Amino acid sequence: GQNIDQPTEMTATEGAIVQINCTYQTSGFNGLFWYQQHAGEAPTFLSYNVLDGLEEKGRFSSFLSRSKGYSYLLLKELQMKDSASYLCAVINQAGTALIFGKGTTLSVSS
């Protein structure tokens, strides 16, 4: 089976840096995704990691350690519009579906 854990809620202020952690236990590993979901909207793709290390994309970066079953999403120069849920998801063993964590709701205040 697969289990994905991430904090339920986080708060931060505009301009700050925040790190959202995700730990996973899977039977086989085929890749990990981070999605952003604003309330009432669809998830939108942020990043994909399959090898260890850091992937940087503008203000957002994602890190993966396969040996530790651990990933984080780093958001820099936070803006109010970054207030959203951030979903960690792993590809299932067959590679046919995404299995999502419960998501971390980030609130950014001024």
Partner 1 sequence: EPEVTQTPSHQVTQMGQEVILRCVPISNHLYFYWYRQILGQKVEFLVSFYNNEISEKSEIFDDQFSVERPDGSNFTLKIRSTKLEDSAMYFCASSETGGLATYEEYFGPGNRLSVT
**Which residues in 26-65 contact partner 1 (CB under 8 A)?**
30-31, 33, 37, 41-45, 48, 50
Does residue 101 touch partner 1 according to CB under 8 A?
A: yes
Backbone angles phi, psi at 81, to 5 degrees: -70, -10
Closest CA to 7 of 99, 73, 92: 73
Measured CA to CA, the distance from residue 88 to residue 21 in angstroms comes to 9
Tell me if residue 2 falls in helix, strand or coil: coil
Residue recorded with tokens 């301009």: 15
Does residue 68 touch partner 1 according to CB under 8 A?
A: no
Tell me how far, at minimum, the Cβ of 53 lies from partner 1, in Å.
Answer: 15
Tell me how far, at minimum, the Cβ of 15 lies from partner 1, in Å.
Answer: 29
Does residue 69 touch partner 1 according to CB under 8 A?
A: no
Paired sense of beta strands 104-109 and 9-13, if any: parallel
Closest CA to 62 of 90, 27, 30, 88: 88
Tell me how far, at minimum, the Cβ of 29 lies from partner 1, in Å.
Answer: 11
Comparing CB distances to partner 1, the nearer of 48 and 70 is 48
Task: Point out which residues bind partner 1 (CB under 8 A).
Answer: 30-31, 33, 37, 41-45, 48, 50, 87, 89, 91-92, 94-103
